[in-house]
Amino acid sequence: MTEDTVPDTIAAEQVTVVPANEASWDDLAAIFGTDAGRCQCQRFKVVGWIWRDSTQEQRTAMLRAQTACGDPDAVATSGLVAYVGNEPAGWVAVEPRTAYPKLRTSRVPWAGRSEDKDDDGVWAVTCLVIRKRYRGRGLTYPLAQATIGFAREHGARALEAYPMITQPGKEITWGELHVGARQVFEEAGFEEVSHPTVRRVVMRVDL
């Protein structure tokens, strides 16, 4: 599917979402591309400061190990991959909240809340990446919805997300929106539980 043939809005029935270990590494790499590929979804994973204390090669190796791409028998994976037709188009990171060490020291998840940071039963959605030519076409909606079933099937009691509030007429960069938009999680059934910053909310669905 070329950019010219991608519909303005992608219908849910056109999308297939699979665990990342059932996708190929080449497919995931195509989704991340170059502009979204620098972090390699390691912001909440790496020890130290992401750009100073790790290299691009290290982060790529970490992502490849975490996803277990190409190994359908893997015990665990770190996210889901969306296809539009046969084309890899999107990624969402979803794991137990304890899999993200940097969340422990981030203000966003904990402000105004009393939560056990070591509770493996609470999972988290931390990142969405849409392949460049598929952006702005609604693909984050089926990805967010798919995280719920995936987390439930793997024993989660609850699932959290930390999206941005977007406002009409106010520009927001793709890099900022890697956590997703509030309305995407609202439509999936998440409810707001706290509002730690002007533009960030914590949303949760009990499973």
pLDDT at 1: 53
- pLDDT for 131 equals 94
Range of the domain at 95: 3-206
CATH of the domain at 177: 3.40.630.30
pTM over 0.85: yes
Q: How far apart are CA 120 and CA 94, in angstroms?
A: 13
Beta bridge partners of 96: 123
Nearest to 10 by CA among 89, 68, 74: 89
For residue range 92-133, list pLDDT tens digits in order. 999 999 999 999 988 888 988 888 999 999 999 999 999 999
How many domains does the chain contain in total?
Answer: 1
Distance from C-alpha of 125 to C-alpha of 178, rounded to nearest angstrom: 10
Position 58 scores a pLDDT of: 94
Predicted pLDDT of residue 4: 54
Task: Tell me which residues of the chain have a pLDDT lower than 50.
Answer: none
